[in-house]
């Protein structure tokens, strides 16, 4: 539903029947044809007020992590011998007795969702849940595939009301899927495939999933349902995941302050439930313990990435063991997730603090501890060998994150000003060039669909690397630019081409990168932009004396 549709509905107070809504939303396929309500408008409630949309203290414009495509069985699948009703009766998602019992028995309960002004049927969420498991699951391995799909697809449960907490989660997840994959904007999809097509082995066509409702409408539904239970006083795993996908929604829309708010909210609920303490896991069955462990590490990864991108303070530390690979139903997927977590455990507090307190004009870091942490990325070999057995979408996440962190560490070591860069160790400046080449090679040979599933975070990392390369070029003397860095303009050009059509639209980072690259390269091509040499100044003085 577009904004105009929403406004029109608010002006017409007639209400459609649920039968009409079911007719619109009863497809089981992942393709939803764009269509309006069959029976007439319905008044939409105002969405809950967000804590703000602008973060003026940020130095970058993206959010944390995301990744892509797998049809494999979830590592958090329910036991094969358990029926859904039996599963609901267990404490798998910390549902209280009234909620799980009412869900299983079809009877009322204090947490069962009360009728909203326009309550969505189960089938409304199904296409987005399927798309999530198909393209976004490998970096979000915290939701049970079998559990959700059985619940949403089974005829036995279609008429049963969803718990308010689960309804909120499904609405937040649906909104996040729409904005992360930019499903509402497919005009430039073919151009993207022509530019970067042919990479990887993925020949499966990209589905055209036109949302029947806007992401904002799902957010409105999420907020309405959330208000029906005291989720602050009685949080559970659904509460954490709802806050996390609200973060993902706002982060992909560049609403940094709101995104930070919901990320911290998810972290706060995690701490309330004790998921950051190893003692909490004592006595839990393996499935529950490992699922909650992955939730903790997902938040750890995301917060560390966001803290670097936006110069924030990280709260979570590596206080519990990493997920156990062979205690999962999909060891390969969990191995990829653990490998990414290990990358971010190297981003320790000293490095985050040094980056956060680095003056914006640029200064060389003098912290011994931060220098030791930085050396891990500068000296560490490329992760290609480590990730050779990891699924492609996770491998892309690990490799590109590693390249991004390496370049940021180089930036930290040499500063931002031209004077500091000109005097920097050539080993560091060449590291930026070599890493930029490796990054371009990686994204050029990758499947576009899998790259897009990283969301706006991928755009941010490409921009950060290209921006650092521009800064390096601006500080080099002419001789060094014409030799070692001769290929740098081509790298910048290809990064800009990538941002032209990535995620089916022109990236917001394209224009600032183009302006920065133009300024830097023009300074190398126009003689007037160079400082006059001593010989030139002497000639100018002689001419002035003669003319006088």
What pLDDT is attached to residue 483? 64
The answer to whether residues 422 and 215 touch, using CB atoms and an 8 Å cutoff, is no
The answer to whether residues 120 and 229 touch, using CB atoms and an 8 Å cutoff, is no
The C-alpha angle with vertex 517 and arms to 513 and 520, in degrees rounded to 5, equals 145
| Those residues with Cβ within 8 angstroms of residue 45's Cβ, 6 or more apart along the chain or in another chain | 116, 117, 220, 224
Place 82 in a pLDDT band, splitting at 50, 70 and 90: very low
Look at residue 74 and tell me whether its pLDDT is greater than 60.
Answer: no
What pLDDT is attached to residue 98? 35
**Mean pLDDT score, 181-198:** 52
Place 63 in a pLDDT band, splitting at 50, 70 and 90: very low
CA atoms of 323 and 294, how far apart (whole Å): 6
CA atoms of 332 and 533, how far apart (whole Å): 60
Comparing 26-35, 110-119, 358-367, the range with the smallest average pLDDT is 26-35
The answer to whether residues 78 and 40 touch, using CB atoms and an 8 Å cutoff, is no
Domain ranges of the chain: 1-35+64-186+214-277, 365-548
What pLDDT is attached to residue 428? 83
The answer to whether residues 180 and 453 touch, using CB atoms and an 8 Å cutoff, is yes
Look at residue 208 and tell me whether its pLDDT is greater than 90.
Answer: no
For 454, the 3-state DSSP assignment is: coil
Look at residue 26 and tell me whether its pLDDT is greater than 50.
Answer: no
Look at residue 207 and tell me whether its pLDDT is greater than 60.
Answer: no
| Nearest C-alpha neighbor of 106 from the set 35, 188, 161, 158 | 161
Dump pLDDT digits (tens) for 501-527: 898 889 999 999 999 999 888 876 654
What pLDDT is attached to residue 329? 86
Look at residue 439 and tell me whether its pLDDT is greater than 70.
Answer: yes
Look at residue 227 and tell me whether its pLDDT is greater than 60.
Answer: yes
């Amino acid at each position: 539903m577009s904004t105009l549709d929403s406004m029109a509905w608010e002006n017409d107070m007639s209400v459609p029947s649920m039968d009409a809504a079911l007719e619109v939303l009863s497809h089981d396929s992942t393709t939803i044809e764009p269509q309006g309500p069959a029976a007439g408008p319905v008044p939409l409630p105002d969405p809950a007020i967000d804590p703000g949309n602008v973060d003026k203290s940020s130095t970058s414009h993206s959010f944390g992590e995301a990744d892509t495509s797998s049809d494999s069985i979830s590592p958090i699948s329910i036991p094969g011998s358990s029926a859904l009703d039996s599963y609901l009766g267990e404490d798998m998602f910390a549902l209280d007795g009234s909620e799980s019992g009412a869900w299983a028995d079809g009877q009322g309960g204090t947490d069962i969702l009360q009728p909203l002004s326009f309550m969505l049927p189960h089938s409304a969420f199904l296409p987005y849940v399927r798309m999530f498991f198909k393209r976004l699951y490998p970096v979000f391995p915290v939701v049970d595939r079998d559990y959700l799909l059985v619940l949403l697809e089974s005829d036995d449960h279609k008429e049963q009301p969803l718990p308010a907490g689960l309804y909120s989660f499904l609405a937040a997840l649906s909104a996040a899927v729409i904005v992360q994959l930019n499903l509402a904007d497919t005009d430039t999809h073919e151009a993207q495939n022509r530019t970067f097509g042919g990479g990887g082995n993925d020949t499966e066509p990209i589905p055209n999933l036109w949302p029947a409702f806007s992401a904002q409408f799902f957010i409105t539904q999420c907020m309405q349902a959330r208000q029906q239970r005291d989720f602050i006083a009685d949080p559970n795993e659904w509460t954490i995941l709802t806050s996390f996908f609200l973060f993902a929604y706002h982060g992909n829309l560049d609403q940094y302050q709101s995104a930070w708010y919901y990320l911290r909210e998810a972290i706060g609920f995690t701490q309330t439930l004790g998921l950051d303490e190893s003692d909490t896991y004592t006595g839990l069955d393996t499935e529950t313990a490992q699922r909650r462990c992955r939730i903790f590490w997902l938040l750890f990864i995301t917060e560390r990435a966001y803290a670097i991108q936006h110069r924030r303070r990280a709260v979570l530390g590596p206080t519990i063991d990493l997920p156990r690979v062979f205690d999962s139903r999909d060891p390969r997927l969990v191995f990829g997730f653990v490998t990414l977590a290990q990358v971010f455990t190297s981003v320790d507090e000293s490095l985050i603090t040094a980056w956060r307190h680095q003056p914006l004009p640029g200064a060389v870091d003098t912290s011994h501890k931060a220098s030791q942490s930085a050396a891990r990325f500068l000296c560490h070999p490329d992760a290609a060998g480590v990730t050779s057995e990891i699924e492609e979408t996770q491998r892309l996440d690990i490799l590109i994150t590693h390249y991004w962190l390496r370049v940021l560490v180089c930036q930290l070591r040499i500063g931002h000003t031209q004077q500091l860069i000109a005097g920097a160790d050539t080993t560091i400046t060449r590291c930026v060039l070599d890493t930029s080449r490796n990054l371009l090679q990686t994204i050029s040979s990758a499947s576009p669909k899998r790259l897009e599933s990283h969301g706006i975070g991928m755009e941010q990392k490409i921009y950060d690397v290209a921006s650092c390369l521009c800064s390096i070029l601006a500080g080099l003397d002419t001789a060094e630019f014409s030799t070692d860095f001769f290929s740098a303009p081509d790298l910048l050009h290809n990064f800009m081409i990538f941002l032209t059509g990535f995620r089916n639209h022109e990236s917001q980072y394209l224009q600032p990168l183009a302006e920065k690259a133009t300024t830097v390269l023009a300074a190398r091509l126009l003689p007037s932009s160079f400082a006059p040499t001593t010989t030139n100044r002497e000639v100018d003085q002689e001419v002035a004396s003669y003319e006088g």
